[in-house]
Amino acid sequence: MSDVLTALEIILLLVVLWFSIKKFDLSGYHKGLLSLTEFILLVAGVLSLGLLVGTLIFFGANILLAVALSIKLAFQEDDLLAHAAAVSGSTKEELKWLVKRLRWEHQVFHYIRPVARVQLIDHLCQRARNVAEIEAMAPAIAMLWVMERPELGKFVADFDRLLRLWRKPASEAMSVADTIASMGQHSPMNTQEAIVSLIKAAEGLELRDHSADATVETEVA
C-alpha cells in the first residue's frame, strides 16, 4: 500500500511540474528551499520504490504527461487561432502559415513558446491589424519582448499605440523597435517603461497640436 502511495506522490509531483501549477523556483531563499525540498521528495520517492521500479514509473509518467501536455497546448493554440481569425476576418489557415513563416524567417521566435507566438498574433488581431501588418510588426515586438518578457497583452497594446501615435506604418515597426532598444541601453528604464515614456511624450505633442489648432480656429472665427 505504501508503494502505491509513493508512486501516486511521484506522479502528482510530476503533474504539478508539467502543467505549471508550480515550477521549481530558485530565485529566492524561501522559494529555493521549497523547490529543493520537492526535488528531494521526488528523488526519495523514486529510490524508495527501488531503482528499477522507481525509474520506470518516473520515466513512464513523464512520457504520458508530455503527450498530455502537447495535446493540451495544441488545443490551446487552435482556440487562440480561431479567436484571432474571427477578430481579424482572416482564416485559421492563413494565420497558421503566418506562424510558420515567422518561425522560419526570424530566429527570435525560436526562443518563444508556441502558445506565446500565437498569443502575440491574437493580440495584434485584436488591435485591428491585418496579416501583412502582423507579419511586419510581430518580429519587432518579439525582439523587444523576449529580453524581459513582461505581460504580453499590454506590451503589444503599448507598442501598437506608439506606432499609431507616431503615425508610423507597420513596415517601420523594426525601426521603432531599434529606437526603443537604444533607449533601454542608455537609460535605467526597462523596455516597457521606455515604450510608456514615448507614448506619454507623443500624447503630449498631440495634445499641444490640438490646442494650437483650436486656438487658430478661434482667432479666425
Question: What is the secondary structure of 52-91 as a DSSP string?
Answer: HHHHHHHHHHHHHHHHHHHHHHHHHHHHHHHHHHHHHT--
Is residue 106 included in any domain, yes or no?
no
Most confident of 7-16, 29-38, 58-67, 73-82: 73-82
Is residue 60 included in any domain, yes or no?
yes
Most confident of 34-38, 71-75, 94-98: 94-98
pLDDT digits (tens, 9 = 90+) for 182-212: 887 777 888 999 999 999 988 877 655 555 4
Is residue 182 included in any domain, yes or no?
no
How far is 55 from 159, CA to CA, in rounded Å? 48
Burial class (CB in 10 A: 0-12, 13-18, 19+), 200: exposed
Which three three-digit cell numbers place residue 163? 506606432
Q: Is 50 exceeded by the pLDDT of residue 219?
A: no
Please tell me the least confidently modeled range out of 14-18, 113-117, 216-220.
Answer: 216-220
Q: Is 70 exceeded by the pLDDT of residue 38?
A: no
Is residue 166 included in any domain, yes or no?
no
Is residue 47 included in any domain, yes or no?
yes
Is residue 25 included in any domain, yes or no?
yes
Q: According to the model, what pLDDT value does residue 140 have? A: 97
Is residue 70 included in any domain, yes or no?
yes
Range of the domain at 40: 1-74
Q: Is 90 exceeded by the pLDDT of residue 59?
A: no
State the total domains in the chain.
Answer: 1
- Nearest residue to 118 (alpha-carbon basis) of 55, 74, 66: 74
pLDDT digits (tens, 9 = 90+) for 144-178: 999 899 999 999 999 999 999 999 999 999 999 99
pTM: 0.70
Is residue 45 included in any domain, yes or no?
yes
